[in-house]
Amino acid sequence: MLNILGRPQTVCGGVSRRELLQVAGAGLFGMSLPRLLHAEESHSPVAPRAKSVIFLYLFGGPSQLETFDLKPKAPNKIRGPYLPIASRTPDLLISEKLEQCAAISDKFAVVRTLSHSFNDHSGGGHYVQTGKRWHIPIGAGFNATPQDWPSIGSVVEYLSQHKQHQFSQPRTREEGLPNYVVVPNSLGKIQTHSVLLQRPGEYGGWLGRGYDPITTSVDKKDAKDNPYYRICSDEELTFQIDGLISQDAMTLDRLGGRQSLLAQFDQKLRQRDAQKSLTAYDRFQQRALSLVASEKTRKAMDLRQESDNVRDRYGRHLFGQSTLMARRLVEAGVRYVTVHWDAPDGYGWDSHLNSKDVGDHLMPGFDQTFSALLIDLEERGLLDETLVVCLGEMGRTPLANANWGRDHWSTLFPALVAGAGVRGGIVLGQSDKDAAYALTPPYKPEDFAATIYHALGIDPEIRLPDGQGRPVGLVEDGKPILELFG
């Protein structure tokens, strides 16, 4: 968001890289931080499988029992109101509301047993987008803080700017494109009761504001919008860069004037703030201004360039059109795009009250969009180089209420993974008879983060400087889920 805030791994003698770097980080061997990072850079990186990532975040937490872990033999109070249907994946039953996904399940893998103990939307969202537990206890806060762990996308932005890894030379990129974009809004921007949240997990955190995502803005138009399934007109779907005026109104003269005003404001900031904060702000400002100044990149963010047929395939709702925007961005060269399931109430899949909205709006909308994305990427020759990840921050309680609403359940929930060498048509992990607990060792958010880094060619064990300049590891206690890959 543009705002004024801002493989074997051993070395000679058999000592592991991690041990060497830990010693170096402690100040021994006389290694300074620049030399430490140079040591990281000189190590042969993991061979990248993916050039880009599309991270589909179903905020609120889809029910495992209504999507990809159906239990038709469970008691009535648990199994749910929707019938199971067969898919192209052996022994995988999918909800009848996900018919299009069932027809292409050979193109994606299901990780059925994700699990963590942070049973909270904000903390869970931070966990699945960073691979680190949030430092705020459950119930003690809802908003992002500068002490948060950087999102995976922010780490990609950081490493790309510092040109430390192979993926710093991707496919030909349009000039001015950022490496990390969030669409359609920052998570929590659209809320009821005039309460705006800045949910954690998608920002640069202690890496600094200069590595926050470039975030688009699609404002709520009508208070009566369906809170689960938002239909948007082309007039709404401008995908403006948050904090800037509309693309059509951004003439070069006005852009120059805006930059001049920002430069004046920046001059005042220089008199007040520390140089470190200014550097982060300068970096973020330059990224945003270069983005809107580039005609080619502005076209990449213009959905009117797409045919009506393609737009119809994705669905003429906010999630569908935002996912299409993500495809356009990775096609232009953006490395990491997060798509939020955004809705006027800000809660999306948090279906405590009933499953009717889940069945009538959420699942059909997701079914249409996810299947369209995989087919579109494959037809354009992009699926082999684009990792597609889809999950919520939690699942739902196996025991439903009288109206078939389900409450928070982070103990077990599924994720979908496709592209970039992922083996389609497989299921990893086995759950119990009620889809409540994993029978096989569960996968942690740390494992998922390590998997995404691995696919991008980023060694999950590298260390980056935190806010005090101390080297810290990207992922601890997590391993890439290599079974996903062929």
CATH number for 113: 3.40.720.10
**Which of residues 443 and 24 earns the better pLDDT score?**
443
| Percent of the chain topping pLDDT 90 | 56
Radius of gyration of the chain (CA): 22
Question: pTM for this structure?
Answer: 0.84
Q: How many CB atoms lie within 10 A of CB 424?
A: 19
Whether residue 198 is found in the same domain as residue 215: yes
Q: Identify the residue whose tokens are 């390590």.
A: 450
Whether residue 128 is found in the same domain as residue 269: no
Whether residue 402 is found in the same domain as residue 476: yes
Question: Given this model, what pLDDT does residue 237 score?
Answer: 78
Question: Given this model, what pLDDT does residue 291 score?
Answer: 62
Domain that holds residue 208: 45-239+301-484
- In this structure, the chain runs to a length of 486
Q: How many CB atoms lie within 10 A of CB 485?
A: 16
Whether residue 324 is found in the same domain as residue 435: yes
pLDDT digits (tens, 9 = 90+) for 198-251: 899 999 999 998 899 999 888 766 555 554 556 677 777 777 777 554 444 444
Whether residue 320 is found in the same domain as residue 462: yes
Question: Given this model, what pLDDT does residue 241 score?
Answer: 74
Res. 423: pLDDT tops 60: yes
Domain count within the chain: 3
pLDDT digits (tens, 9 = 90+) for 368-386: 999 999 999 999 999 999 9
pLDDT digits (tens, 9 = 90+) for 146-177: 999 999 999 999 999 887 655 544 444 555 67
- Residue 2 in any domain: the answer is no
Whether residue 92 is found in the same domain as residue 213: yes
Chosen domain end from 259, 282, 299 = 299
Region 305-328: what's the mean pLDDT? Answer: 95
Question: Given this model, what pLDDT does residue 31 score?
Answer: 38
Chosen domain end from 256, 275, 299 = 299
Which of 142-146, 160-164, 349-353 has the largest mean confidence?
142-146
The set of residues, in sequence order, having a beta carbon less than 8 Å from that of 269 and lying 6+ positions away, is 4, 278, 281
Whether residue 163 is found in the same domain as residue 219: yes
Q: Identify the residue whose tokens are 């987008």.
A: 129
- Residue 1 in any domain: the answer is no
